[in-house]
Structure 1
Amino acid sequence: MARPLFGGALSAVIPHSARDISELRQIPDNQEVFAHSQTDQSVIIELLEYQSHVNDSDAARYHFEDVAGSNKATEAGSWEVRSVEALPKSELSLQECSSAWLLSGAQLISKFNEEAKNTVNIHLGLFRLPQFTTDILVTFNDPVSISPLSSSAVGSSASVLGLWSIQDFRQLLQSLRLIDPGVFG
């Protein structure tokens, strides 16, 4: 079932067992953040400024590198892009986008600025909406290797890792729908 986002301006099918992080802490107005109730998996939906200086085919990589910077995964070898593919508009509910992209990669990320680094698969969906000067970025953070020294190691077990799948993420991307373009200002 689709869940309202940004006050009902957008909607999408959010993966099962998702907890709305805005119920726990302050989230910027341009973000919706959901975390799996039992793992460190998370999904972030962001309304960002359209990057007109970046070609559509390079835009997902541009945003991935920006996320790497935010995650302090900027050292050589601390991130990699594995694949970038165009998402066919015929498979998307968000028909207002000029193009859509799916990037898969990985980053070495420390939680709460700890020394310990965790390997996190990053799946990034990007919807380009130049008519609204907006890029919608949807990021699925999927930890695959937790350092024993990380605060995330407490209580984590291999049996609960990976409860959300790339198929769940693809369903979210395919179900994302614009209801009120007024959200873009």
Structure 2
Amino acid sequence: MDNTVDQQQHPLFGGAFSALLPPGSLDVSELRQVPDNQEVFVHPSTDQSIIIELLEYQAGVADENAARYHFEDMAGPSANAEILSQEPLVPQLLALDGCSSAWCLTASQRVAKFNEEAKNEVNQHLALLRLPQYGTDLLLTFNNPIHIHPLSSSAARRTEVPPPPPSHAPWTVEHFHTFVRSLRLLDPGIFG
């Protein structure tokens, strides 16, 4: 199945980048403040999200350890996180020119929304694209909840929202991979 049928290149970071977003993606910056180094998109009827972050290049971290480094930094000292797999991506398969190294990491984490007690189980798919010439590690994250705790605010929201129309079916890992492979740098001036 071709997942790019309903997708088109979407400008990111004011047009400095573009990528194919999953169908129905909603830009969180239209709803609330998002840090300047991030772009965040959510699914219209699930708790799925995609986050793009421009992070400082970690020169002291070897390429094969960099995705793990950024995941552990993001997850914090949580005993509720487990890395399930990690593998290299072939930079030649990416639309992003100048990527020196690329890695995919999959993890499972139990996290709460809004500091709630109830924790949801979320699979996280990360792609780390390293751009040392710009002093940047580009981290792309797909948060995919696989179990929503009944006492979570997400569970309450799901009972209030009607089932999604077929055009808003839940995103897949393939949607995320299409997004990662399609990411393009259009204006290197974003790096200063």
Please tell me the TM-score bracket, short chain as reference: over 0.9
TM-score norm. by structure 1 comes to: 0.93
Q: Do the aligned partners of residues 115 and 162 (structure 1) sit closer, same or farther apart at CA in structure 2, a change above 3 Å counting?
A: farther
Displacement, 1:162?
A: 7.4
In the alignment, is residue 9 of structure 1 matched against residue 11 of structure 2?
A: no
Unaligned runs of 5+ in 1: none
Identity %: 58
Looking at structure 2, the residues matched to 162 and 87 of structure 1 have their Cα atoms a distance apart, in angstroms, of 27
Looking at structure 2, the residues matched to 89 and 130 of structure 1 have their Cα atoms a distance apart, in angstroms, of 14
Looking at structure 2, the residues matched to 113 and 65 of structure 1 have their Cα atoms a distance apart, in angstroms, of 19
Looking at structure 2, the residues matched to 53 and 165 of structure 1 have their Cα atoms a distance apart, in angstroms, of 33
Q: Of 100, 103, 114, which residue of structure 2 is paired with 1:101?
A: 103
Q: Of 47, 51, 67, which residue of structure 2 is paired with 1:44?
A: 51
TM-score norm. by structure 2 comes to: 0.90
In the alignment, is residue 58 of structure 1 matched against residue 60 of structure 2?
A: no
Unaligned runs of 5+ in 2: 1-7
Displacement, 1:91?
A: 1.0
Q: Do the aligned partners of residues 75 and 89 (structure 1) sit closer, same or farther apart at CA in structure 2, a change above 3 Å counting?
A: closer
Displaced runs of 4 or more, over 3 A: 159-162
Contact 1:144–1:162 (Cα < 8 Å) also in 2:
no
SS in 2 for 1:29: coil
Q: Do the aligned partners of residues 110 and 162 (structure 1) sit closer, same or farther apart at CA in structure 2, a change above 3 Å counting?
A: farther
SS in 2 for 1:57: helix
RMSD (Å) for aligned C-alpha atoms: 1.5
SS in 2 for 1:152: helix
Displacement, 1:2?
A: 0.7
